[in-house]
Amino acid sequence: MAPSKKKHASSKPCIIPGGFTVLSLQFSPDSAAQHQLFVKEHKVRAEKSSGRPLDRTLFVLNVPPYCSEAVVKKLFSQFGSVQSVELRDHPGSSKESGPKLSKFFRAADKKGFNVGYIVFQSSASVSAAKSHPHDVPLVVCTELHPVRTGVQKWIQEYTQSFVQPDKLQQIVDSFMEGYDKRKEEEAERQRKEAEQQQEDEEGWVKVTRGHKGAKARPHTEAANQRTLQKEMRKKKRKELMNFYTWQHRNTQKEHIADLRKKFEEDKQKIALLRVQRKFRPY
């Protein structure tokens, strides 16, 4: 019997230059077309965010528009428990600073291909995703988890665009409570910094010794602002006094002339006192 010419599945991961592993993506089980995802372990030295731990974060490229964060979480849950999913239109640092705004107060997301950051509960899940065979595609739309596209997706997005007034009022009230709380904390922090760095009349700052092992307190924004204002006042007085170079020279000449005049007057006073001295022992 002649050997079969049919190519068997390699069951091995496909790794391309750059360290990326290629994962096949299929929209439905009966779909003939496949999409390619490129995944890599997220390792950035400058990344200090706790939301993207370096040993448990998977970086994904070429995420199609029909894959939402919920869909991506469902797809990669087969490799392990997923902690969080973040989709963005371009790579960048984590957006942890500042309050998390509701979707009603954020700009509309761009429609197109995205990049993703998938955080797993275990670091072994990252290795499992990278070692997934290239010839075993990940299926997006199934009977248990259908994904809407086309007109059905537009109808769903249009329906979800409406919001009830009471729900919107609740979101606004929650945001304002958090805003007031942050303002109070900021005012309290500035008050404590001002008390710790009070200057006396001559500009000296009292420095107290902290407990053993305490790090040096960095310059605060309030202290830097006071120092900058003081320097600006000095510079302004100097500019007003000596606006031109010739004014500075004339000021120096007048000061020297005043000193010489005062010296001559003092000499005349001393000579006059000597003449008026009545007691003469010799």
CB atoms within 10 A of CB 68: 15
Predicted model pTM: 0.56
- Residue 276's pLDDT is 81
- Residue 45's pLDDT is 67
Given pLDDT bands bounded at 50, 70 and 90, which one contains residue 8? very low
Tokens 């053993």: give the residue: 212
Neighbour-count burial for 178-199, b at 16+ CB within 10 Å, e otherwise: eeeeeeeeeeeeeeeeeeebee
Given pLDDT bands bounded at 50, 70 and 90, which one contains residue 2? very low
For the stretch 90-149, pLDDT in tens is 887 766 555 666 666 666 667 788 899 999 999 899 999 999 888 888 888 888 888 887
For the stretch 189-240, pLDDT in tens is 888 877 766 655 555 666 555 555 545 555 566 677 778 888 888 777 766 6
For the stretch 153-201, pLDDT in tens is 888 878 877 888 888 888 888 888 888 898 999 888 888 877 766 655 5
C-alpha closest to that of 128 among 39, 48, 50? 39
Structure tokens at 200: 């006396």
Q: Which helix (H) or strand (E) holds 86?
A: strand 82-88
CA 80 to chain centre: 29
Instruction: Enter the CATH code of domain 14-160.
Output: 3.30.70.330
DSSP summary character for residue 141:
-
What whole-number distance in Å separates Cα of residue 161 and Cα of residue 272?
101
Q: Exposure of 85 by Cβ count < 10 A (0-12 exposed, 13-18 middle, 19+ buried)?
A: buried
